[in-house]
Amino acid sequence: MITRKTSEIVTSDLSEGKVFLIDKDFGKTSFNVVANIRRIFQVKKVGHAGTLDPAATGLLIVCLGRQKTKEIYKYQDMPKTYTGTITLGVKTPSMDSETEPSEIKNIDGITEQKINEVRNSFLGEIEQIPPMYSALKHKGKALYKYARKGIDLKREARKISIYNFEISEINLPEVKFKIECSKGTYIRVIADDFGDKLGCGAYLSELRRTKIGNYQVDDALTIEGLESLVKETIQTN
C-alpha cells in the first residue's frame, strides 16, 4: 500500500518496505530523490518508478525496501498524466530548456485552429522516436552522453498511446497542455513533433507530472517536507 498520510510515514514499521509519493522539485534529478530517501531512513534498497528530468517537477513514486522495490514495475506500467507548456518558434537539441536554442522561426500565421488540428493528430496509438538526450543505453552508455559530444545515433521508433491531449491555454508563443499517456512516452518529443507539424518548431519549456495511475501529486510530500516531518517526530519521541 502506498503511504499517503504523513503520520504513517514515520510511525509505521519499515521492515516490510514502504512506497512513498514524492513531489520532485525543479532542478533535482530522480536519483537525488532516491539518495535523499536512503539518507533519511538509512535504508540502502530504494528505487523510483519512472524518471523525471531535472527541469520537470511533480509526482515520483519511490519504493523503499527489498520487497517493495521488486514491485516497482507495477507503478512503471501505469498511465501517466502531465501538465506543461510548449513554446513555439524555438527548437533546442534536448527538446526542452536544458540546452540553448538551435533554431528560431517565425510563428506568424499560427492559429488556434491549426494548434488544435495538430493536437488531434497525436491522439491514439502513435510511433515515437526516443530523444538522444535520454538515459536509454547504447553499448552500455546513456544516449545523452553521446548527444553532448554531438553524436546522433539511430534510434528505433516505439509505439506509445496518447489517451487524452488537452490545450488549456494559448498565449503565443506559449501553449499550455494536459496529456494522459502510456509508459515510455517522452513529452519532450511530443513538444518537438508538435512544432514540426506546425512548421515553426517548438520545445518543452515546462513540465509537471500530476498523476501515475490513480495516485496524485496532491497527496505527495516534498523531500524537504518529509525530512522535516521525520525530524519533528524524532524530537517529540
Q: What is the pLDDT of residues 34-89, one digit of tens each?
A: 999 999 988 889 999 988 988 999 999 999 988 899 989 999 999 999 999 999 99
3-class DSSP state of 137: strand
Q: Which CATH superfamily is domain 2-77+214-236 in?
A: Pseudouridine synthase (3.30.2350.10)
CATH class of 80-212: alpha beta
CA–CA dist 225, 126 (Å, integer): 39
| Active-site annotation holder among 23, 53, 96, 193 | 53
Whether residue 129 contacts residue 155, with contact meaning beta carbons closer than 8 Å, is answered with: yes
- The answer, yes or no, to whether residue 100 has pLDDT greater than 60, is yes
The two domains 2-77+214-236 and 80-212 share their CATH topology (first three levels equal): yes
13 in active site: no
Torsion of Cα atoms, 209 then 167 then 144 then 129, to 10° = 120
